[in-house]
Amino acid sequence: IGREIFYFDTLDSTNLKAKELAANEQKEGTVVIAEEQTNGRGRLGRSWSSPKKKGIWMSIILTPEIEPTDAAKVTQVAAAAVWKGINEVGVKTQIKWPNDIVLNGKKVCGVLTEMSGELNRLNYLVVGIGINANMSDEDFPEEIRGLATSLKIELNKEVERKELIGRILNNFEELYEELIHNNSIDKSIKICVENSALIGKDVRLILKGKEEEAKAIDISKEGELIIQDKNGDISKIISGEVSVRGL
Ligand code: BTN
Protein backbone atom coordinates (compact mmCIF):
# COMPACT_ATOMS: atom_id res chain seq x y z
CA ILE A 1 0.00 0.00 0.00
CA GLY A 2 1.36 3.41 -0.95
CA ARG A 3 4.34 2.17 -2.96
CA GLU A 4 2.94 4.31 -5.74
CA ILE A 5 1.57 7.68 -4.69
CA PHE A 6 -0.05 10.19 -7.04
CA TYR A 7 0.26 13.58 -5.48
CA PHE A 8 -1.71 16.65 -6.56
CA ASP A 9 -1.88 20.25 -5.48
CA THR A 10 -5.55 20.51 -6.37
CA LEU A 11 -8.12 17.92 -7.38
CA ASP A 12 -11.89 17.88 -7.56
CA SER A 13 -11.87 14.75 -5.40
CA THR A 14 -9.21 12.13 -4.68
CA ASN A 15 -11.92 9.46 -4.82
CA LEU A 16 -12.91 10.54 -8.33
CA LYS A 17 -9.27 10.55 -9.44
CA ALA A 18 -8.64 7.15 -7.84
CA LYS A 19 -11.70 5.68 -9.59
CA GLU A 20 -10.49 7.05 -12.90
CA LEU A 21 -7.04 5.52 -12.32
CA ALA A 22 -8.51 2.20 -11.17
CA ALA A 23 -10.69 2.04 -14.28
CA ASN A 24 -7.45 2.44 -16.26
CA GLU A 25 -5.89 -0.59 -14.60
CA GLN A 26 -3.99 1.28 -11.93
CA LYS A 27 -3.12 -1.40 -9.44
CA GLU A 28 -3.87 -2.35 -5.88
CA GLY A 29 -2.28 -0.17 -3.26
CA THR A 30 -1.98 3.00 -5.33
CA VAL A 31 -2.66 6.09 -3.26
CA VAL A 32 -3.97 9.46 -4.45
CA ILE A 33 -3.33 12.51 -2.26
CA ALA A 34 -4.35 16.12 -2.81
CA GLU A 35 -3.48 19.26 -0.86
CA GLU A 36 -6.93 20.60 -1.63
CA GLN A 37 -10.20 19.27 -3.04
CA THR A 38 -12.60 21.54 -4.85
CA ASN A 39 -15.40 18.96 -4.85
CA GLY A 40 -14.66 16.74 -1.85
CA ARG A 41 -17.42 14.22 -1.38
CA GLY A 42 -18.86 12.71 1.75
CA ARG A 43 -21.27 9.90 2.39
CA LEU A 44 -24.94 10.15 1.43
CA GLY A 45 -24.17 12.65 -1.32
CA ARG A 46 -22.88 15.27 1.09
CA SER A 47 -19.94 17.50 0.32
CA TRP A 48 -16.68 17.39 2.28
CA SER A 49 -14.84 20.58 3.01
CA SER A 50 -11.16 20.13 2.09
CA PRO A 51 -9.18 23.37 2.38
CA LYS A 52 -5.65 23.61 1.09
CA LYS A 53 -2.86 22.08 3.19
CA LYS A 54 -5.14 21.89 6.23
CA GLY A 55 -6.04 18.25 6.13
CA ILE A 56 -5.32 14.83 4.76
CA TRP A 57 -7.38 14.10 1.68
CA MET A 58 -6.44 10.76 0.22
CA SER A 59 -7.78 7.66 -1.49
CA ILE A 60 -6.47 4.12 -1.74
CA ILE A 61 -7.15 1.86 -4.73
CA LEU A 62 -7.79 -1.79 -3.83
CA THR A 63 -8.60 -4.84 -5.92
CA PRO A 64 -9.31 -7.53 -3.33
CA GLU A 65 -10.82 -10.84 -4.30
CA ILE A 66 -13.78 -10.54 -2.01
CA GLU A 67 -17.52 -10.42 -2.54
CA PRO A 68 -19.02 -6.95 -3.01
CA THR A 69 -20.95 -7.58 0.21
CA ASP A 70 -17.62 -7.77 2.03
CA ALA A 71 -16.74 -4.16 1.21
CA ALA A 72 -17.99 -3.18 4.69
CA LYS A 73 -15.08 -5.13 6.13
CA VAL A 74 -12.61 -2.93 4.30
CA THR A 75 -14.30 0.15 5.76
CA GLN A 76 -13.72 -1.28 9.26
CA VAL A 77 -10.08 -1.93 8.36
CA ALA A 78 -9.74 1.68 7.23
CA ALA A 79 -11.39 3.07 10.35
CA ALA A 80 -9.11 0.95 12.54
CA ALA A 81 -5.99 1.98 10.59
CA VAL A 82 -6.85 5.67 10.89
CA TRP A 83 -7.70 5.37 14.59
CA LYS A 84 -4.36 3.66 15.24
CA GLY A 85 -2.40 6.21 13.20
CA ILE A 86 -3.97 9.14 15.04
CA ASN A 87 -3.39 7.35 18.34
CA GLU A 88 0.29 6.95 17.45
CA VAL A 89 0.67 10.70 17.07
CA GLY A 90 -0.79 11.18 20.52
CA VAL A 91 -4.51 11.71 20.10
CA LYS A 92 -7.04 9.26 21.47
CA THR A 93 -10.14 9.33 19.30
CA GLN A 94 -13.25 7.20 19.11
CA ILE A 95 -14.65 5.32 16.16
CA LYS A 96 -18.28 5.96 15.37
CA TRP A 97 -19.48 3.01 13.32
CA PRO A 98 -19.39 2.61 10.41
CA ASN A 99 -16.78 5.09 9.39
CA ASP A 100 -16.42 8.26 11.40
CA ILE A 101 -13.67 9.14 13.80
CA VAL A 102 -14.75 11.51 16.54
CA LEU A 103 -12.99 13.50 19.19
CA ASN A 104 -14.88 15.00 22.12
CA GLY A 105 -18.07 14.16 20.29
CA LYS A 106 -17.08 16.05 17.14
CA LYS A 107 -16.06 14.59 13.82
CA VAL A 108 -12.37 14.66 12.84
CA CYS A 109 -12.35 12.08 10.05
CA GLY A 110 -14.66 10.38 7.58
CA VAL A 111 -14.15 7.40 5.33
CA LEU A 112 -15.93 7.03 2.00
CA THR A 113 -15.63 3.58 0.43
CA GLU A 114 -16.83 3.36 -3.15
CA MET A 115 -16.86 0.28 -5.33
CA SER A 116 -17.17 -0.77 -8.90
CA GLY A 117 -18.34 -4.20 -9.87
CA GLU A 118 -21.25 -6.44 -10.65
CA LEU A 119 -23.56 -8.35 -8.35
CA ASN A 120 -21.03 -10.96 -7.32
CA ARG A 121 -17.82 -9.61 -8.74
CA LEU A 122 -15.86 -6.71 -7.42
CA ASN A 123 -13.68 -4.80 -9.89
CA TYR A 124 -12.12 -2.38 -7.49
CA LEU A 125 -12.64 -0.47 -4.30
CA VAL A 126 -11.63 3.08 -3.55
CA VAL A 127 -11.24 3.93 0.11
CA GLY A 128 -11.31 7.70 0.61
CA ILE A 129 -10.03 9.09 3.88
CA GLY A 130 -10.56 12.69 4.97
CA ILE A 131 -8.89 13.91 8.15
CA ASN A 132 -9.33 17.37 9.60
CA ALA A 133 -5.71 17.72 10.67
CA ASN A 134 -4.72 21.35 10.94
CA MET A 135 -7.93 23.25 10.49
CA SER A 136 -8.96 26.11 12.72
CA ASP A 137 -12.60 26.68 13.58
CA GLU A 138 -12.97 29.29 10.86
CA ASP A 139 -11.77 26.83 8.21
CA PHE A 140 -14.99 24.85 8.62
CA PRO A 141 -18.18 25.89 6.85
CA GLU A 142 -20.39 27.66 9.37
CA GLU A 143 -23.09 25.00 9.31
CA ILE A 144 -20.78 22.25 10.59
CA ARG A 145 -18.73 24.27 13.09
CA GLY A 146 -20.38 22.77 16.13
CA LEU A 147 -20.13 19.26 14.72
CA ALA A 148 -16.59 19.10 13.36
CA THR A 149 -13.20 19.56 14.91
CA SER A 150 -9.55 19.08 13.96
CA LEU A 151 -6.56 17.42 15.56
CA LYS A 152 -4.92 20.84 15.82
CA ILE A 153 -7.88 22.32 17.70
CA GLU A 154 -7.83 19.47 20.21
CA LEU A 155 -4.03 19.21 20.51
CA ASN A 156 -3.28 22.92 20.42
CA LYS A 157 -0.52 22.32 17.92
CA GLU A 158 -0.11 21.43 14.27
CA VAL A 159 0.22 17.80 13.33
CA GLU A 160 2.84 16.58 10.89
CA ARG A 161 0.62 15.44 8.05
CA LYS A 162 3.31 13.42 6.28
CA GLU A 163 4.05 11.43 9.38
CA LEU A 164 0.39 10.73 9.99
CA ILE A 165 -0.13 9.63 6.38
CA GLY A 166 2.80 7.21 6.69
CA ARG A 167 1.48 5.73 9.91
CA ILE A 168 -2.03 5.30 8.56
CA LEU A 169 -0.81 3.61 5.38
CA ASN A 170 1.43 1.24 7.36
CA ASN A 171 -1.41 0.32 9.68
CA PHE A 172 -3.76 -0.08 6.78
CA GLU A 173 -1.34 -2.41 5.01
CA GLU A 174 -0.96 -4.59 8.09
CA LEU A 175 -4.67 -4.84 8.83
CA TYR A 176 -5.67 -5.23 5.18
CA GLU A 177 -3.17 -8.08 4.66
CA GLU A 178 -4.75 -9.83 7.62
CA LEU A 179 -8.07 -9.63 5.84
CA ILE A 180 -6.78 -10.68 2.43
CA HIS A 181 -4.23 -13.34 3.33
CA ASN A 182 -5.60 -14.72 6.57
CA ASN A 183 -9.24 -13.93 5.90
CA SER A 184 -9.31 -12.38 9.33
CA ILE A 185 -10.70 -9.03 10.36
CA ASP A 186 -10.38 -9.70 14.10
CA LYS A 187 -7.64 -7.16 14.77
CA SER A 188 -9.53 -4.36 13.03
CA ILE A 189 -12.83 -5.22 14.68
CA LYS A 190 -11.13 -5.33 18.06
CA ILE A 191 -9.84 -1.77 17.55
CA CYS A 192 -13.27 -0.61 16.32
CA VAL A 193 -15.08 -2.21 19.28
CA GLU A 194 -12.64 -1.17 22.00
CA ASN A 195 -12.63 2.41 20.82
CA SER A 196 -16.23 2.66 19.74
CA ALA A 197 -18.21 5.81 20.39
CA LEU A 198 -21.44 3.79 20.24
CA ILE A 199 -21.06 0.41 21.83
CA GLY A 200 -22.73 0.11 25.19
CA LYS A 201 -24.77 3.23 24.47
CA ASP A 202 -28.32 3.89 23.49
CA VAL A 203 -28.42 5.03 19.91
CA ARG A 204 -30.98 6.42 17.58
CA LEU A 205 -31.03 5.09 14.08
CA ILE A 206 -32.96 5.69 10.96
CA LEU A 207 -34.02 2.30 9.66
CA LYS A 208 -35.82 2.40 6.33
CA GLY A 209 -36.87 5.97 6.97
CA LYS A 210 -38.18 5.21 10.45
CA GLU A 211 -36.43 6.43 13.56
CA GLU A 212 -35.77 3.81 16.20
CA GLU A 213 -33.95 3.57 19.47
CA ALA A 214 -31.77 0.67 20.46
CA LYS A 215 -28.62 -0.22 22.30
CA ALA A 216 -25.45 -0.77 20.28
CA ILE A 217 -23.83 -3.91 21.63
CA ASP A 218 -21.12 -5.13 19.27
CA ILE A 219 -19.67 -5.18 15.76
CA SER A 220 -19.87 -8.46 13.87
CA LYS A 221 -17.10 -10.19 11.91
CA GLU A 222 -18.87 -8.93 8.80
CA GLY A 223 -18.50 -5.34 9.92
CA GLU A 224 -22.17 -4.95 10.88
CA LEU A 225 -23.35 -3.10 13.96
CA ILE A 226 -25.21 -5.38 16.36
CA ILE A 227 -28.05 -3.73 18.18
CA GLN A 228 -30.63 -4.74 20.74
CA ASP A 229 -34.04 -3.13 20.71
CA LYS A 230 -36.35 -2.38 23.64
CA ASN A 231 -37.92 -5.85 23.39
CA GLY A 232 -34.53 -7.45 23.69
CA ASP A 233 -34.45 -8.49 20.06
CA ILE A 234 -31.01 -8.48 18.49
CA SER A 235 -30.35 -7.48 14.91
CA LYS A 236 -27.46 -6.55 12.67
CA ILE A 237 -27.20 -3.35 10.69
CA ILE A 238 -25.26 -3.30 7.44
CA SER A 239 -23.18 -0.22 6.88
CA GLY A 240 -24.74 2.27 4.55
CA GLU A 241 -28.23 1.19 5.48
CA VAL A 242 -28.65 3.49 8.44
CA SER A 243 -27.37 6.59 10.06
CA VAL A 244 -26.63 6.31 13.70
CA ARG A 245 -26.45 9.01 16.26
CA GLY A 246 -25.50 8.84 19.91
CA LEU A 247 -28.34 10.03 22.10
C1 BTN B 1 -17.99 11.12 5.23
O2 BTN B 1 -17.81 11.10 6.44
O3 BTN B 1 -19.05 11.51 4.74
C4 BTN B 1 -16.86 10.64 4.34
C5 BTN B 1 -15.91 11.75 3.99
C6 BTN B 1 -14.79 11.29 3.10
C7 BTN B 1 -13.91 12.42 2.64
C8 BTN B 1 -12.71 11.92 1.88
S9 BTN B 1 -11.50 13.18 1.58
C10 BTN B 1 -10.66 12.14 0.48
C11 BTN B 1 -11.70 11.41 -0.32
N12 BTN B 1 -12.11 12.16 -1.49
C13 BTN B 1 -13.38 12.57 -1.41
O14 BTN B 1 -13.95 13.26 -2.25
N15 BTN B 1 -13.93 12.12 -0.27
C16 BTN B 1 -12.99 11.34 0.51
At 240 the pLDDT is 55
- Give the Å distance between the CA of 113 and the centre of ligand 1: 9
- Residue 220 makes CB contacts below 8 A (sequence gap 6+) with 189, 226, 236
- 173 and 207 both lie in a single domain: no
| Cα–Cα distance list, 46 to 26, 40, 112, 145 (Å) | 27, 9, 11, 16
Provide the 10 A C-beta neighbour count for residue 210.
7
Extended beta strands in 77-233, E state: 94-96, 100-103, 106-118, 121-131, 202-207, 210-219, 225-228
- Give the Å distance between the CA of 111 and the centre of ligand 1: 6
- Give the Å distance between the CA of 43 and the centre of ligand 1: 7
- 32 and 96 both lie in a single domain: yes
- Report how far residue 217's alpha carbon sits from residue 46's, in angstroms, rounded to the nearest whole number: 28
- 165 and 210 both lie in a single domain: no
What is the atom index within ligand 1 of the atom nearest the CA of 58? 10
- 181 and 158 both lie in a single domain: yes
- Give the Å distance between the CA of 100 and the centre of ligand 1: 10
Is the CB of residue 56 less than 8 Å from the CB of residue 133? Answer: yes
At 25 the pLDDT is 87
- 150 and 210 both lie in a single domain: no
At 51 the pLDDT is 97
- 123 and 231 both lie in a single domain: no
Query: Which H or E run contains 149?
Result: none
The residue contributing the CA closest to ligand 1 atom 15 is: 41
Q: Residue 228 maps to which CATH number?
A: 2.30.30.100
41 is in an annotated binding site: yes
Domain interval for residue 233: 202-246
Q: Residue 114 maps to which CATH number?
A: 3.30.930.10
- 56 and 173 both lie in a single domain: yes
Counted domains in the chain: 2
Q: What is the ipTM of this complex?
A: 0.99
Q: How many CA atoms lie within 13 A of 33 on its CB side?
A: 19
- 109 and 222 both lie in a single domain: no
Query: Which H or E run contains 8?
Result: strand 5-11
Cα 27 from chain centroid (whole Å):
21
What is the atom index within ligand 1 of the atom nearest the CA of 13? 14
- 123 and 139 both lie in a single domain: yes
Which phi and psi (to 5°) does residue 105 adopt?
80, 0
What is the atom index within ligand 1 of the atom nearest the CA of 15? 12
42 is in an annotated binding site: yes
- 36 and 103 both lie in a single domain: yes
- 190 and 207 both lie in a single domain: no
Ligand 1 site, CB within 6 A? 13-15, 37, 40-43, 46, 48, 50, 57-59, 100, 110-112, 128-130
Give average pLDDT by consecutive 10-residue segment, the chain, 247 residues.
Answer: 94 97 92 98 93 98 90 94 96 93 94 88 94 96 93 94 98 97 95 95 82 91 92 85 60
Nearest to 17 by CA among 37, 43, 46, 45: 37
- 158 and 206 both lie in a single domain: no
